[in-house]
Amino acid sequence: MIVLGAYAARSCAVKTHNAFDPTIQAPIREPDEALTELFEGGEQFRDAVINRLVGAAGGQVIDLRLADELPAHIQSGACAEAAASGAELIIGGLLPRDPDHHRVGRPDVLIRGADRADGRPGYHVLEIKMHKIHERKRPTTVRRPNTSVLVSPFTAPAPEHADEIDGYGFRTGSREADLIQLAHYHRMLIDLGWDAPGRPYAGLVGTDDWSAEDLITWMDLDEPLLRTFSRTGPSGWTARSALVRYDHEHAFRVDVATAAAQQGHNGASPRLLVQPIVTDECSRCQWWDHCRSQLPDDDVSLRIGKGALDVREIATLRSRGISTVSDLAGVDLDQLLEWYLPEVTHRAGAEERLRRAAHRASLIIDGVHFERITSGPIDVPGAAIEIDFDIETTAEGSIYLWGFRTHQGGSTDGAYQPFVDFSDPDADTERQLAVRALSWLREQAEGEESVRVYHYSGFEVAALRRLAEAHPDEPIFGWALEFAATSFCDLFPVIKENFFGVDGIGLKPVATLAAGFNWRDDDAGGLNSTRWFIDAVHAESAEQRELARTRVLQYNEDDVIATAVVRAWLRAR
């Protein structure tokens, strides 16, 4: 029996194939620890939201989370009884399996809406996500889609009580998977006869903090919000609703699962509907080891990570026998583009994307990591005192560490000065820490010698601007913005203007592959530093907390050392 959960339609179809192909051994790879911790954080966030919702909403609440150790048929039977009872909220219910439509699912919450025509209670799905789901929208004189959000308070959670708020919209560019998941559950409600009448509204709660009140965002799953490839669309794409997009994706994965299940049956080997293509999902997928074994070492999707072509672009190249970096580097691009571009009209700048990928392929074959694209000396302004600067933030974006390293001009030897707060930050603790750090910086700047501060990318300046806007009465933030305008030097645009990098031009590839620097920690990276901060604050033992704190501080110090090394490398060009 082929039944798919809510994540199938929103994720890689190769996962579906691997799960149903009897000739493929089940994965033994353990889940990534970083992802496990983030998932646990997501569960804690979900439970906290549910507790607030239950406390505010009132009415009958049936919490089925405690039944999740019971057999599936008992769980789904309890969910059906809860829905028949007309409970206002049903928490963690396993929906009855739907073999006819190949679906199974457990939404976070069912919220009672209007009664159906047959007198039975109708329900809407609610999912809770530990990420932001809104983005600001500019007000316009002409009404446009997705320039407002429909929200209801926890005290009256159903969409019938929702109000429209202008100036915000749903993050369609990065959160469409949330809508696909909601559509899966909504289809199950329809087939069960549990869906509320009217528009197919489904709810989301994210981490957005633009409102002081707990709010549910209601998405109309019939509204065409999702950008989708279209051969007939004049721009190469069209807008589809979440339900239409889900129906297509789900049906395709049912076909994939059906073909996969027949592999090796009585010696049969039906044509595979999907083949592995490296995407962002692969790094956190337990099927990766198997998929990697199916790819040649010089596969384009495997070797070209920065400026990577998307799944459709890779599939289009493969359809014409271009699978490896050697194939791509040796192709006549002008001839290739004649048939390639009509197949990838969904991508803005498709020609430039392909040309850059082909350029990277040529450099990979030649063993070149960085290519100088200008000539002459590279101007990196100096000062008597040079300070390298980097900040670290929590997963929610609060700054908990300001790291500085002070040098005599032209030297890479320096003294590290961190300002850190290993506690759960709030707006006030973040402000206090920033005041301490920037007051120290002002003392350096007001000395007798000239001072310049170096950083990599605009993140640090954006953080200063955010703090200044959040605390307009704090004069040190205004001073910091003025000082940054005259005395900060961002090395990222200097690199971008002068070099082309096969693996991108972030600080780590430039410092390691070009300037010869190595971080002390083999697992150095932004995601891991977020994990270490959690350990630094919440680990069970003092020894574990101290170890994590040392790791965070060394990582930050290595970041500012790397900035100094890159600066010296640039000056030597």
Q: How crowded is the C-beta side of 167, counted as CA atoms within 13 Å?
A: 3
Domain closes at, from 367, 402, 427: 367
Is there a single domain that holds both residue 444 and residue 537?
yes
For residues 337-363, give the mean pLDDT: 92
Residue 33 banded pLDDT, cuts 50, 70, 90 = very low
**Residue 124 to residue 163: CA distance in whole angstroms:** 17
Is there a single domain that holds both residue 300 and residue 241?
no
Q: Tell me: the pLDDT tens digits for 234-265?
A: 666 778 899 999 999 999 999 999 999 998 87
Is there a single domain that holds both residue 75 and residue 200?
yes
Chain mean pLDDT for the chain: 91
Among the residue ranges 26-30, 50-54, 202-206, 396-400, the one predicted with the least confidence is 26-30
For residues 312-332, give the mean pLDDT: 94
| pLDDT of amino acid 150 | 94
Residue 274 within a domain: no
**C-alpha closest to that of 557 among 520, 507, 528:** 520
Domain count for the chain: 3
Q: How far lies 358's CA from each of 314, 363, 371, 502, 506, in Å?
A: 12, 9, 14, 11, 20
Query: Where is pLDDT greater, at 58 or 363?
Result: 363
Per cent of the chain over pLDDT 70 is 94
Q: Domain of 453: which CATH number?
A: 3.30.420.10
Token pair for 382: 């100096």
Residue type, 264: G
**Residue 140 to residue 279: CA distance in whole angstroms:** 36
Determine whether 230 is exposed, middle or buried from the number of CB atoms within 10 Å of its CB (0-12, 13-18, 19+). Answer: middle
Residue 6 within a domain: no
Is there a single domain that holds both residue 432 and residue 518?
yes
Angle formed at CA 284 by CA 460 and CA 178, multiple of 5 degrees = 80
Is there a single domain that holds both residue 331 and residue 399?
no
**Residue 414 and residue 406 in contact, taking contact as beta carbons nearer than 8 Å:** yes
Residue 254 within a domain: no
Residue 222 within a domain: yes
Domain closes at, from 214, 247, 280: 247
**Residue 133 and residue 215 in contact, taking contact as beta carbons nearer than 8 Å:** no
Is there a single domain that holds both residue 100 and residue 193?
yes
Is there a single domain that holds both residue 417 and residue 512?
yes
| pLDDT of amino acid 283 | 84
Is there a single domain that holds both residue 149 and residue 178?
yes
Residue 425 within a domain: yes
Is there a single domain that holds both residue 528 and residue 437?
yes
Is there a single domain that holds both residue 477 and residue 543?
yes
| pLDDT of amino acid 37 | 47
Give residue 232's domain range.
13-23+32-247
Whether pTM exceeds 0.85: no
Query: Where is pLDDT greater, at 139 or 208?
Result: 208
Residue 42 within a domain: yes
Q: Tell me: the pLDDT tens digits for 98-157?
A: 999 999 999 999 999 999 999 999 999 999 999 899 988 876 655 677 888 999 999 999
Domain closes at, from 320, 337, 367: 367
Is there a single domain that holds both residue 104 and residue 55?
yes
Residue 151 within a domain: yes
Is there a single domain that holds both residue 211 and residue 143?
yes
For residues 380-401, give the mean pLDDT: 92
